[in-house]
A and B are shown apart, each in its own frame.
Chain A
Amino acid sequence: MNNAVIICDREAATALSHDLKNRVVGLLGTRGYRTETVELTRDDAAPCRGCLFCLTKHPGKCVSSDTVGDLMHRMYLEREETITIYLTTVLFGHPSSVIKNALDRGTGSHRLQVIIGYGEDIDAEEESTFVDVTAKHCGAADIVHPGMVREAMAFVTRSSDDNVSLCSVLQECL
């Protein structure tokens, strides 16, 4: 059975994000995924300190012990079998700090990472920035670590209608 972890920012939850989460959970269920939702707060996601000990001294273990540290270690062992879906607000074309902390600390799957940004006033340039950042993590486009994340997808939603459309696109890839 395939596993999926949905990682979202509890403090930034809105009606739009609830609708999105419910639709994504429903979609994953119909595609046969065993889904787990992790709702993070600021206390659960300390920022990455950039020590790189998770790559050199003790791979897969973060020096900060919190929910993201535990999740990172789990994903380190399961990253080929589990896909990750991040739900985040978009500010200035960037994920929220809580979700960015989770991304920076290596909670992502190497098989498929989906990052969905939500917000009612995201403009075109912010959407484009958000999508382009994610595209840089995908396959050969990732020049720093080519091919590490085999597939990375980004979506931006501003309404419930957008949620429906993006779920139908996502369905094709699951």
Chain B
Amino acid sequence: MTAPVKTVCLINGSLRGRKASSLSFLQDVSRRLPDALCRKMVITVRGHAKQVYSAETLAAMAQADVLVFVFPLYNYALPGALMALLEEFHRFVLEGNALSHDVKVYAVVNCAFPRPELTTGEAVRVMRNFCRRLSLNWRFAICIGTGPVVVVTKKVPFLDRTLKRALSAIAMDVGAGAGRTVSDFFVHPVIPERVIRRIREQYEKKGEMMVRRDRRRALQ
């Protein structure tokens, strides 16, 4: 007997287009979900406030078996563009539209700081609150530190297998029963934190010099 086909809705919470690390992680999740067992659709958040989501898009989210949110961390929380989608989805459900309560929800949070265990907690709590409010089945999160570095190094063999284990855990959990508990995964960059800090300081120094120059000009 073949397993029933699951409808998987992959939500890209980044507005950076093809440059986005979040998009790369979303594609990694998608690749691990076999096409024979999963009917996949991707929703990318809207970059303009005037653009609203169609009823078909929101209905597809509401009827999916699996929702995977992949997003960058903005100010320790969700990007406003993703929050707009959650607001519209919440309104859509409150209006009485049908919602599949068996839906499993996962989050992949991509933050710029090397230690995701210190920064991503509140964003994951928001996603848990979202599931609790709508009676959805929250599963677990993958919290990735310094996403762009992880994207660059993820193909190097034997460096760090946490990301691969975490992404495979989503694929396995989609097909498994909802009874088992899976803890959140924390993926750290393989480049040492002090090197990442130095790179960031160089950018910030450049920015600070420009700030001082602009202030001088404003005063003149």
Stretch at the interface among B4-12, B124-132, B149-157: B124-132
Selected from B74, B76, B122, B218, the residue in CB contact (under 8 A) with A48 is: B74
Report the separation of the CA atoms of residues A93 and B48 in the bound assembly, to the nearest whole angstrom. Answer: 24
A93–B126 CB distance below 8 A: yes
Question: Is A26's CB within 8 Å of the partner chain B?
Answer: no
Contacts of A104 in B (CB 8 A): 74-75, 79-80
B113–A100 CB distance below 8 A: no
B210–A59 CB distance below 8 A: yes
A154 to nearest B CB, angstroms?
11
CB nearest neighbor in B for A42: B49
- Chain B interface: which size bin? 35 or more
Question: Is A144's CB within 8 Å of the partner chain B?
Answer: yes
Q: Given contacts A42-B49, A60-B214, A143-B113, is CB(A49)–CB(B126) below 8 Å?
A: no
A48–B79 CB distance below 8 A: yes
Contacts of B121 in A (CB 8 A): 132
Contacts of B35 in A (CB 8 A): none
A49–B75 CB distance below 8 A: no
Report the separation of the CA atoms of residues A59 and B78 in the bound assembly, to the nearest whole angstrom. Answer: 23
Report the separation of the CA atoms of residues A125 and B130 in the bound assembly, to the nearest whole angstrom. Answer: 11
Selected from A48, A51, A129, A144, the residue in CB contact (under 8 A) with B129 is: A129
Report the separation of the CA atoms of residues A46 and B81 in the bound assembly, to the nearest whole angstrom. Answer: 8
Question: Is B86's CB within 8 Å of the partner chain A?
Answer: yes
Chain B window 74-109, contacts with chain A (Cβ cutoff 8 Å), 1 for yes, 0 for no: 111111110110110010000000000000000000
Chain B window 204-220, contacts with chain A (Cβ cutoff 8 Å), 1 for yes, 0 for no: 10110011001100100
Question: Is A75's CB within 8 Å of the partner chain B?
Answer: no
Q: Given contacts A49-B16, A144-B119, is CB(A43)–CB(B49) below 8 Å?
A: yes
CB nearest neighbor in A for B204: A55
Could you tell me how many residues of chain A have their Cβ less than 8 Å away from some Cβ of chain B? Answer: 38
Chain B window 10-50, contacts with chain A (Cβ cutoff 8 Å), 1 for yes, 0 for no: 00001110001000000000000000000000000111111
Question: Is A158's CB within 8 Å of the partner chain B?
Answer: no
A47–B119 CB distance below 8 A: no
Selected from A47, A92, A94, the residue in CB contact (under 8 A) with B45 is: A47
Contacts of B14 in A (CB 8 A): 50
Selected from B47, B76, B112, B210, the residue in CB contact (under 8 A) with A133 is: B76
A84 to nearest B CB, angstroms?
14
Chain A window 49-79, contacts with chain B (Cβ cutoff 8 Å), 1 for yes, 0 for no: 1110001101110000000000000001100
Interface residues of A (CB under 8 A from B): 42-51, 55-56, 58-60, 76-77, 91-98, 100-101, 103-104, 125-126, 129, 132-133, 136-137, 143-144
A–B pairs, 17, beta carbons within 8 Å:
A43-B49, A47-B80, A49-B47, A50-B16, A56-B207, A59-B214, A91-B83, A92-B126, A94-B78, A97-B80, A100-B79, A125-B129, A132-B122, A133-B77, A136-B119, A136-B122, A144-B119
